[in-house]
Amino acid sequence: MHCHALDNGQKIQVSILFNNEELREHKVANRFYEWFRSWFYGRIIDIETIFVVLKGDNNPELFDFPFIYSAENSIEQDSIHVDRYGITIKYFFGNLRHPIIFINTSNHAMGEHDTNHRLWKWEYIAWQMDSPIEFGEKSREEIDNSFKPKLRFW
C-alpha cells in the first residue's frame, strides 16, 4: 500500500498492490487475463488507486474512486469500472484520521460501504508491526514505471 500526498497535502493518493486478481464471473477467461496482464502491464499483480480528500483540519472527509467504484456490486462481479467522486466517508477505525474502505468485487472495485455482508472480513491495519501490509509513499506513476510491459503499443 502506497500513500502519496498531493495538492499540498490536501489529497492522499492511495495505491494498493494486490497479489493477484482472480475472475469469478468470467472465470473461464482468467488464465488468458493473467497472460494479458503480464504482457501488457509487465505484472500479474493488480494495482488499484483511490484518493482520500482531507478537510481543513487535515481529517479525511471524501473518497474519490476513479474507474474503480463498486457501487452495489459484490464479490462475484469482476468487470466493474465505475467513476465516482466526492463520496462521503462513512466509517473510521479508531478515530477520524483512519477511514475504512471496502474492497467489494473480485476485480478489487471499492466503496465506502460493504456489499458482502455475509463474508468474513480481513482488517489490514498498516501501522501494526505484525501485518501483511507493506507501506510506502510512491505515486501511482512511480509504481507503474517500476514494471516493464513485454508488449508496447506506444
Q: What is the pLDDT of residues 73-117, one digit of tens each?
A: 999 989 899 999 999 999 998 888 899 999 999 999 999 999 999
Predicted confidence band at 126 (pLDDT cuts at 50, 70, 90)? low
What is the reported pTM?
A: 0.88
CA 117 to chain centre: 19
Q: What residue segments make up the domains of the chain, in order of their start? A: 2-145
Q: Answer for the pair 101, 111: CB distance below 8 angstroms, yes or no.
A: yes
**Nearest one of 60, 131, 68, 58 to 91, comparing CA atoms:** 60
pLDDT 10s digits, 50-82: 999 999 889 999 999 999 999 999 999 898 999
User: Which residue spans within the chain are E strands per DSSP?
Assistant: 2-6, 11-18, 46-54, 60-69, 82-88, 102-103, 110-111
- pLDDT for 151 equals 72
